[in-house]
Copies of this chain bind each other. A is one copy, B any other.
Amino acid sequence: MTTTRRRDAAATREAILRAGVEGFTRHGYDGVGVREIAQSAGVTAMLVNRYFGSKEGLFAEVVEASMADRTVLTDDPATLARDVAAALVRRTAPHADGLDPFLLMLRSAPNPRAAEILRAGIEKHVEAHLLDIAPELRGTDRAAMVLSLVAGFWLMRKMIGSTALNGADERTLARTLEQLFTLLMHPG
C-alpha cells in the first residue's frame, strides 16, 4: 500500500477544522495564525491551505460548523424567554469557558471579511432557527433585537469582563434578561 501510515485525509481535515473552531473562537480571526491552528491539529501550516484553500476558507467552514449545531436555544416556545435567559447566564458565568458561536462572532467581527461570513452564517442558522421556534417574530425587528441583546451580554460579561455583571447575583441577572426577552417575544 502507498497510503499514509498515521492519518488519512478526512481525519486530518477534521482535526484542522476542530482546531480552527477552537482557535478562532478563543482568539478571533485576526488573533490566531494558521501556524497555531495547524499545531493544535498536529500538522503543519501548509495543510491548512491544502485542505481549505486559505485562512479565510477555513474560517468560513468553521463558522458553518459552529453555527449549525444548536446549543443555546431550546425548542419549547412556551418557556423560550426563561430558557434563553437561564442558558445565557449559565454559559457566560465567570468560570465557564465553552466555545460558543457568539464568542466566535464577537471576536472575529472586527475583520471586515470575517464579518460578512459571520453575517451570512448568523442569518442562515441562528436567526432562522430562532424564527422557527418563535414564528411570531417573523417580519419584525425583534428577532434581530434578541440576537443583539444576547451578543451584547456575551460581550460585556465575558470579553470586557464587566465588574457589575460578574459580581451580580445570577438569579437577578436571569430575571432581568427574562423580562427583556419576554418583552421582545411576547409584546402583547
Contact = CB atoms under 8 A, between A and B. Distances in A.
Interface residues of A, number: 52
Contacts of A177: 145
Secondary structure at chain A's binding surface: helix, strand, loop or mixed?
A: helix
A144 B156 contact: yes
Interface stretch (A35-43, A54-62, A71-79, A105-113): A105-113
B147 A156 contact: yes
Nearest to A168: B141
B156 A151 contact: yes
Nearest to A118: B160
A144 B157 CA distance: 9
Contact of A152 (B31, B116, B140, B149): B149
A141 B31 contact: no
Contacts of A153: 145, 148, 152
Contact of A165 (B110, B141, B172): B141
Contact of A110 (B123, B140, B159): B159
A176 B145 contact: yes
B111 A109 contact: no
Given A115-B161, A144-B156, 12 more contacts: A30-B30, A106-B155, A109-B159, A123-B162, A141-B173, A143-B164, A145-B177, A147-B152, A147-B162, A150-B152, A152-B152, A179-B183
